Amino acid sequence: MTDFAERADSIAELDAAVSECRACPRLVAWREEVARTKRAAFADQDYWGRPVPGFGPADASLAIIGLAPAAHGANRTGRMFTGDRSGDVLYAALYDVGLASQPMSTHIDDGLELFGVRITAPVRCAPPANKPTPAERDTCKQWLVRELQLLENLRAVVVLGAFGWQATLNALPSAGWQVPKPRPRFGHGVEYDVNGLRLFGCYHVSQQNTFTGKLTPEMIKKVLARAKSAARL
């Protein structure tokens, strides 16, 4: 797997290569079982059922890093945060701050474009209960490392949630950014400089956070607007 990630010379090659990855037996079995059994509401749809590549232009200067695809969201549609409630919140906020062409992300051919933003995740296959194991996170790390290396214009990163935060800090040194010691701590609204890269923390856009009001649309938009400015978008 590592060889496949390192061999990719462009974001397009990386996206194609990651879609073929089968390195984590538990996640391969789960993503494919979900794609076979489906949720009743989507029974007539063909699920993607594979690793989900990042979404957004190869010259993006801002990256948004989440956790992992949702079983009936990105694992169904094949595009990050597409077709689920978390994505509804995230894309509406991106649209409101001028980083997306439309506020909804329903399926892979819906015409949505991102402006200077690339959305990705440290684990590319949907995990049971949204909980990848540390070993799965570590196995998937090389894909994130290579993506960060290939995003040559990258200036800022927004990380959604503590899991993504730790995974991003683990990946950055291998991608060429030395992480300060002590390691930056995750929190909503925190901002750090990592050798010229601006790193922002934001609570994850999960229903658990957005339905309870822990994370409001205004809170997301504030972080995105600051990151947009740091990324010179």
State yes or no: residue 160 binds ligand SF4 (CB under 6 A).
no
Question: Tokens 């790193």 sit at which residue?
Answer: 199
* Cα distance between residue 144 and residue 127, in whole Å: 17
Burial degree of 99 (CB within 10 A; 0-12, 13-18, 19+): buried
Choosing from 74, 112, 140, 159, the residue that interacts with ligand SF4 (CB under 6 A) is 140
State yes or no: residue 194 binds ligand SF4 (CB under 6 A).
no
Residue placing its CB nearer to ligand SF4 in the complex, 24 or 97? 24
Minimum distance between the CB of residue 64 and ligand SF4, rounded to whole angstroms? Answer: 18
Structural contact between residues 228 and 99, judged by C-beta atoms closer than 8 angstroms: yes
Choosing from 136, 204, 215, 230, the residue that interacts with ligand SF4 (CB under 6 A) is 136
x/- track of binding to ligand SF4 for residues 108-127 (CB under 6 A): ---------------xxx--
* Cα distance between residue 83 and residue 55, in whole Å: 14
Residues in the chain: 233
Choosing from 23, 104, 225, 233, the residue that interacts with ligand SF4 (CB under 6 A) is 23
Residue placing its CB nearer to ligand SF4 in the complex, 127 or 201? 127
Minimum distance between the CB of residue 147 and ligand SF4, rounded to whole angstroms? Answer: 12
State yes or no: residue 22 binds ligand SF4 (CB under 6 A).
yes
Extract the tokens encoding 183. 């390691």
- Residues forming a β-bridge with 119: 55, 64
> What's the half-sphere exposure (Cβ side, CA atoms, 13 Å) at 123?
30
Kindly list the residues in this chain that would bind ligand SF4 in the complex (CB under 6 A).
1, 18, 21-24, 27-28, 51, 123-125, 136, 139-140, 143
